[in-house]
Structure 1
Amino acid sequence: MFLSPRGEPLSAPAKRAEIHTLNIVILIVGIISAVGAGWIVVSFILFRSVRTFRHQLILGLAISDFLMAVNFMSSSAVNISGHIISEKPQEKFCDFNGFMTQVFVVQTDYWVLLIAVCTFFIVANYKRQSQWVQEHRIILWCLPWGFSILWAALGMGLIGYGDIGAWCWFTSDKTRLLVNFIPRWLIIIAILALYARLYLLIHKAHNRFHSFDHPSGSIERTLEPEASSVSSTARIGKPATIFSSTPTRDSESSPDADPPLRLMTHTRGPNPVLKKMAYQMMMYPIVYMIIWTIPTAVRIYQAVTGKPAPFGIATVDKSCIVIQGFADALIYGFNEASISVWRAKFFPRRHANRANGGTAHSNSNHSRF
């Protein structure tokens, strides 16, 4: 049967020394991942400028990453202490650990997909959809939690969880391929398609902008989110602050509004802000593809051959899964406004000098996307 309950745990090392080494590595990687996810959470709490609608979704992803890292760290710590989680006294802990692993591994996939869909609605100017998602944030938050808990409960009831070396999960590689890895790659393909569409949209708008001899072209009408949408729309992905070459009525009347970004319509050189925005969007799915390639390859190898992967490769396989929180911090944190606000907090003079030179404004526009 394809969904075999507690199949042979090929991912679990057989030697005691290998178990100890593996769990030390996972504990270290888990700490790094927790620090990365925690940095996003702390940034959201401390700074109002990173509390936009999109950052609220990123906060949900960071919380899931942090709790997932803590779950991995707890099982590794138990193994390192000498109480191996595959032993009978730790059976209840293993069930709980496996349940939480399934919850948060699946949940992070849902958060990434949700962020991509909402970003697409807003930047691609789907006015009705973008307004709806921003007005129903509680529903958006319930979706990843509800579906992930449902699938984890079904997994515990129908299949069960067992020790795979550093934490508990589905012990069968075939089960993990069907339940986790195939859906994950479908999500990666979906977000790749969404961000590729936005990438082409931005480049098309950029090329059209340079093809006109007047500054008031159709780019703003093509990409600018609906003005009557919720206030956070203007803070997340309002490309008008990037594409506009003339001041708007709102920017003239509001003392706190960002000054318009000046672009030369006759200049054929690529705009660095647009290029950076487009490349950043394509980075999201590419990084996830890199992270999950090795674990997927190991699952396929072990499912087909029935043999465990070499210990070194298996350790890298598990580390790629655990590093998710740190990877998300790099993708969504260091490329977002939190870098700028932390720099302003600890280096106010240097940040002021950058702002006077215009660099801070460019970063602000980019981070608000």
Structure 2
Amino acid sequence: MNSQNPKAMSNDSRCVFFNTDSEDYRCVVILTVKRATGTFSLVGCIFMLFVIWLLRRYHSLAQKMILSLTVAAFFDSVGYVMGDSHPEGSLCDFQACWLTYFDWSALAWVCLITVNLYLNLVREISTNRYEMSYHLMAWGVPLVMASLPLLKGYYGPAGAWCWITDDHVAWRFGIWYVPLFSLIFLMICCYARIICVANARMQSWLGTFNPERERQKGVKQQGAI
């Protein structure tokens, strides 16, 4: 009687997410959804890049930051279209490092765009001189975050793609989840402040101006004439 030892099964035929055969329909569905969403995002990024190029919207700092965000999202999408969860090895490490780097880069650009808007509107500071600093942070910080698990050897098969393995869950939270939700909370606070300041300034610009009353005045003046 021939029996196959699960431990002897090669990584090529394993679905790490469900700890079963890679042909399991659940794995196929997850990988299909991953590729579909990645492809949709990729097409969207290509369209955005084309529009930016067509309309020449890459001259001001804000436009350049949006362009950089689109580039980061483009390469991030490429990572999700790469293919199956690869067996442990250099290719898997490359995919994991690629995803971590560009996930972080896209997040960094979103945060910096928020900071730039906050400085412009709330603090009324010209930020053109910060362009190089923005690029150093948006491309440099992700490099550090992606390199740490690589140097520690913590990358490997982690479900439908390669990332930090299940044996190092704390690193997942330290490298991604905790910073992600902390930054989202801070951005919500920034946008709340931006909205409050924008509303206050709109009220100060309008003053006691009442459009309906001014219209009625105009009608009366025309009638008197």
Q: Give the TM-score, by structure 2 length.
A: 0.78
1:64 pairs, out of 54, 72, 75, with 72
2:158 pairs, out of 147, 152, 164, with 164
> Could you tell me how far 1:197 is from its partner in structure 2?
0.7
1:223-251 residue CA offsets vs partner (Å, 9 max, x unmatched): xxxxxxxxxxxxxxxxxxxxxxxxxxxxx
Correspondence list, 1:224-303, <5 A = 265-267=209-211
1:25 pairs, out of 25, 33, 37, with 33
Are the equivalent residues in 1 in contact too, given 2:75–2:102 (CA < 8 A)? yes
Are the equivalent residues in 2 in contact too, given 1:72–1:166 (CA < 8 A)? no
Change (3 A) 1:209 1:118: same
Change (3 A) 1:122 1:167: same
Match of 2:219 in 1: none
Q: Distance in 1 between matches of 2:199 and 2:16?
A: 45
* CA RMSD, Structure 1 to Structure 2 (Å): 2.2
> Could you tell me how far 1:209 is from its partner in structure 2?
2.9
Unaligned runs of 5+ in 1: 1-9, 213-264, 270-369
Amino acid at match of 1:143: M
Question: What secondary structure is seen at the aligned counterpart in 1 of 2:116?
Answer: helix
Question: What secondary structure is seen at the aligned counterpart in 1 of 2:118?
Answer: helix
Correspondence list, 1:1-369, <5 A = 12-15=17-20, 16=22, 17=24, 18-49=26-57, 51-74=59-82, 76=83, 79=84, 85-86=86-87, 91-127=89-125, 130=126, 133-172=127-166, 173-212=169-208, 265-267=209-211
Amino acid at match of 2:149: G
Question: What secondary structure is seen at the aligned counterpart in 2 of 1:113?
Answer: helix
Amino acid at match of 2:99: T
Are the equivalent residues in 2 in contact too, given 1:102–1:152 (CA < 8 A)? yes
Are the equivalent residues in 2 in contact too, given 1:170–1:176 (CA < 8 A)? yes
- Compare relative contact order (CA 8 Å, sep 6+) and give the higher one, 1 or 2: 1
Change (3 A) 1:50 1:34: same
Are the equivalent residues in 1 in contact too, given 2:35–2:81 (CA < 8 A)? yes
> Could you tell me how far 1:174 is from its partner in structure 2?
3.0
My pick for the range that moved more, 193-202 or 152-161, is 152-161
Q: Distance in 2 between matches of 1:170 and 1:117?
A: 30
Q: Distance in 2 between matches of 1:268 and 1:166?
A: 60
Identity %: 21
Task: Give the greater-gyration-radius structure (CA).
Answer: 2
Q: Distance in 1 between matches of 2:144 and 2:175?
A: 13
Q: Distance in 2 between matches of 1:193 and 1:22?
A: 34
Are the equivalent residues in 2 in contact too, given 1:22–1:165 (CA < 8 A)? no
Q: Distance in 2 between matches of 1:183 and 1:61?
A: 18
1:230-289 residue CA offsets vs partner (Å, 9 max, x unmatched): xxxxxxxxxxxxxxxxxxxxxxxxxxxxxxxxxxx22389xxxxxxxxxxxxxxxxxxxx
> Could you tell me how far 1:27 is from its partner in structure 2?
0.6
Are the equivalent residues in 2 in contact too, given 1:44–1:51 (CA < 8 A)? no
Change (3 A) 1:26 1:124: same
Q: Distance in 1 between matches of 2:105 and 2:116?
A: 16
